[in-house]
Amino acid sequence: MINLYDLSLDELSRLFQEWGQPAYRARQLWEWMYAHKVQNFNEMTNLPKDLRERLETECRLGVMRIAAEQQSSDGTIKRLYQLPDGQYIEAVLMPYEDNRRTACISTQAGCAMGCVFCATGQMGFVRHLTSGEIIEQAINFARMLEAEDERLSNVVLMGMGEPLHNYDATLEAINRLTSPDGLGIGQRHITLSSVGLVPAIRQFADEGLQVKLAISLHAATDEERSALLPINKRWNIETLLDACRYYVEKTGRRITFEWALIAGENDTPEQAEALGQRLQGMLCHVNLIPLNLTGGYAGKPSDPARVEQFRKILERYGVSSTVRVRRGIDIEAGCGQLKAQVIGFDDIS
């Protein structure tokens, strides 16, 4: 069975050509999929019946089953999806007061990077998602919002998995998220978050996109960062920051650095000083996020006074930062700490 959301418009056109369909049919189907987001072939009223029947037997319009859904008191919705091979992934929708509607979507089931404080990392790697599985998470939220006269305005690739480890499928998904005949979300409204796969960051910079890049930094000395993020043993902080400067140079886009504040670990004045020195003068912004608790890691979030002290030190170096509000915290919907097992899908507490 072909998942039609795995295909580009060109690939769909080639398939229809093989089926002996006239060229305009591919675009008709494409509009049903991306503009109208219908879920059944029989709603595609301008396609001939025999074509609809063939589509029905050989193709699928998405593959994911909603296994569970929770809504937080702040309006955040967390969905657990089951994939056709039984794997679970999560996607989160966050409404903001300024009318932004942001989907946080996954690119892999599990993750191979093993960051010690991350629930996904603690699961290990299961498999890459296909481009269709990545985009379906966004399409489903977009359809839901459109039924309420709203629209999906932003997408962050900050769910389960390391997007640059699943480079090709992620890039195809970004293309279909942003193209005017896809979901039509502006490139500047897409954020890709990476743990720091240096060659892939450079390759991504060369794509000529205007997508925002967020880098999970979390520590300003190699010793501390390697203890938290094993990938730092492969590419150290300076190598990573060189690639980040290359991204800024190529795209003109400001980079965001993510920093999960862990009490007594990376929230010390020494770490803040070291970070300020490293980032001074760079076109960047730091997001300070108190750690979300996970089962496999004993660290605790920093208290607010410590967070403020950290922020002030960065300010002295001219490095801007914001303390990020944790969304959907009552349903543990902090992106990156998404839990992939039904048994780990806690009730609203």
Residue 137 as a binder of ligand SAH (CB under 6 A): the answer is: no
Tokens 């959301």 label which residue?
5
Question: Whose CB is nearest to ligand SAH?
Answer: 336
93 is a site residue for ligand SF4 (CB under 6 A): no
Strands (E), 63-148: 65-71, 77-82, 88-95, 101-104, 108-110, 125-128
CB of 168 to ligand SF4, least distance (A): 18
Nearer to ligand SF4, 13 or 122 (CB): 122
Which candidate in 90, 133, 172, 332 is catalytic? Answer: 90
How far apart are alpha carbons 197 and 113 in whole angstroms?
10
Q: Is 289 among the residues that bind ligand SAH (CB under 6 A)?
A: yes
Q: In terms of Cα–Cα distance, which of 142, 153, 158, 241 is closest to 192?
A: 158
| The only residue of 26, 47, 115, 185 in contact with ligand SF4, by rule CB under 6 A | 115
Burial readout 48-70 (b: 16 or more C-beta within 10 A, e: otherwise)? eeebbeebeeebbbbbbeeeeeb
Length of the chain: 349
CB of 68 to ligand SF4, least distance (A): 20
- The type of residue at 151 is R
Kindly state the smallest distance separating residue 124's Cβ from ligand SF4, in Å. 9
Q: Which two tokens stand for residue 145?
A: 């919002």
Q: Is 241 in the site for ligand SAH (CB under 6 A)?
A: no
Q: Is 258 annotated in the active site?
A: no
Q: Which stretch binds ligand SF4 (CB under 6 A): 31-39, 118-126, 141-149, 299-307?
A: 118-126
Residue 260 binds to ligand SAH (criterion: CB under 6 A): yes
Rounded to the nearest whole angstrom, what is the least distance from the CB of residue 59 to ligand SF4 in the complex? 31
Per DSSP (E only), the strands in the chain are 2-3, 59-60, 65-71, 77-82, 88-95, 101-104, 108-110, 125-128, 154-157, 190-194, 212-216, 255-261, 284-290, 321-323
Does 113 sit near ligand SF4 (CB under 6 A)? yes
Contacts of 207 (CB under 8 A, 6+ apart): 171
CB of 122 to ligand SF4, least distance (A): 8
Could you say whether residue 138 binds ligand SF4 (CB under 6 A)?
no
Mapped onto helix, strand or coil, the DSSP state of residue 125 is: strand
For residues 5 and 117, which CB has a smaller minimum distance to ligand SF4 in the complex?
117
Told to check if 292 binds ligand SAH by CB under 6 A, we report yes
Taking phi over 0 as left and psi of -120 to 50 as alpha, with beta for the rest, 162 belongs to beta
Binding segment toward ligand SF4, per CB under 6 A, in 45-53, 106-114, 129-137, 275-283:
106-114
Q: Could you say which of 195, 205, 220, 289 contacts ligand SF4 (CB under 6 A)? A: 195
- What residue 134 binds from ligand SAH, ligand SF4, none (CB within 5 to 8 A, per partner kind)? none
Spatial contact of 109 and 161, defined as CB atoms under 8 Å apart: yes
Residue 178 touching ligand SAH (CB under 6 A): no
| 118 is a contact residue toward ligand SAH (CB under 6 A) | yes
Q: Which one of 111, 129, 169, 240 is in contact with ligand SF4 (CB under 6 A)?
A: 111
DSSP, collapsed to helix, strand or coil, labels residue 90 as: strand
Residue 335 is among the residues annotated as catalytic for this protein:
yes
Comparing C-alpha atoms, which of 227, 258, 222 is closest to residue 117?
Answer: 227
Does the footprint of ligand SAH cover residue 294 (CB under 6 A)? yes
- The footprint of ligand SF4 (CB under 6 A) covers 111, 113-115, 118, 120-121, 161-162, 195, 216, 336
Active site residues: 90, 335
